[in-house]
Amino acid sequence: MCGRFSNRMSWREIHALYSIHDQENVVPNDYEARYNIAPTDRVAACRIADGVREIVRLRWGLIPYWAKDAKIGFSTFNAVGETVAEKPMFRDAFKARRCLIPASGFYEWKKLDPAGKKKQPYAIVPAKEDDAFSFAGLWERWKDKASGETIESCTIITTTPNEVCAPIHNRMPVILPKETWAHWLGEEPADRSQLLALLKPSDAALMRAYPVGAAVGNVKNQGPQLMEPVAA
């Protein structure tokens, strides 16, 4: 599962990450670096529009176009990589609406007792301090028939954990290396089997994990201090 992550990058830095150089100065008024992103928050994402990459902001928690209401998005912030191509909730988006979600790191909680009553939060970040993760995501556009409001939303795909994440949690987000981005976004051809092959644990050498304070458990808490290491 991936239920919390951070993105401390500026709007310009996100555009540079995805080699987009003609939109970076149009910064949304309410965009800011966030260190404790939770489901239903708006997140930055890279997708293809009219054949070119663009950065948009999507509500985290995918609302399929056929949903009766937006409440379904509270439980669809993750999609299981092993079933994402078949599940009605995600299969249409998997075929045609894939995206990349930039992150500076993500959080998972390690169980300290069999019952799971005691947990230690961990931050999992790139091995190199200035690097960033790109999560494999899907996006959808949903229109509320009652109000006429249109909501664009997304989900983060998860997979089995690598050696860094396995001692902490039994799932991790799919992190796509740069050489796969064009295939995932649809800029270069890739069939279903090739896309599914991308949904695998990332190289453990490219990340590190360390314990952080309990404050990250409250979605109201923000700031770089949330990512500071603490004694386990």
What is the pLDDT, as a whole number, of residue 101?
98
Candidates 212, 181, 215, 213; CA nearest to 198 is 181
Instruction: Report pLDDT digits (tens) over 173-188.
Output: 999 999 999 999 999 9
pLDDT average, residue stretch 52-73: 94
What is the pLDDT, as a whole number, of residue 159?
98
What is the pLDDT, as a whole number, of residue 24?
60
Domain ranges of the chain: 5-227
Active-site position among 99, 108, 152, 165: 108
Instruction: Report pLDDT digits (tens) over 101-135.
Output: 999 999 999 999 888 789 999 999 999 988 999 99
Distance from C-alpha of 205 to C-alpha of 219, rounded to nearest angstrom: 29
Instruction: Report pLDDT digits (tens) over 16-25.
Output: 999 998 766 6
**To the nearest whole number, what is the mean pLDDT of the chain?**
95
Confidence label for 72 from pLDDT (cuts 50, 70 and 90): very high
Cα–Cα distance list, 73 to 31, 65, 197, 201 (Å): 22, 11, 26, 25
Fold classification of 5-227 (topology level): hypothetical protein yedk fold (3.90.1680)
Instruction: Report pLDDT digits (tens) over 204-230.
Output: 999 999 999 999 999 999 999 999 999
| Residue 165 annotated among the catalytic residues of the structure | no
What is the pLDDT, as a whole number, of residue 25?
64
Active-site position among 2, 46, 99, 154: 2
pTM, 2 dp: 0.96
| Residue 82 annotated among the catalytic residues of the structure | no
Q: For residue 100, what is the enclosing H or E element?
A: strand 98-103
What is the pLDDT, as a whole number, of residue 165?
98
pLDDT average, residue stretch 183-194: 97
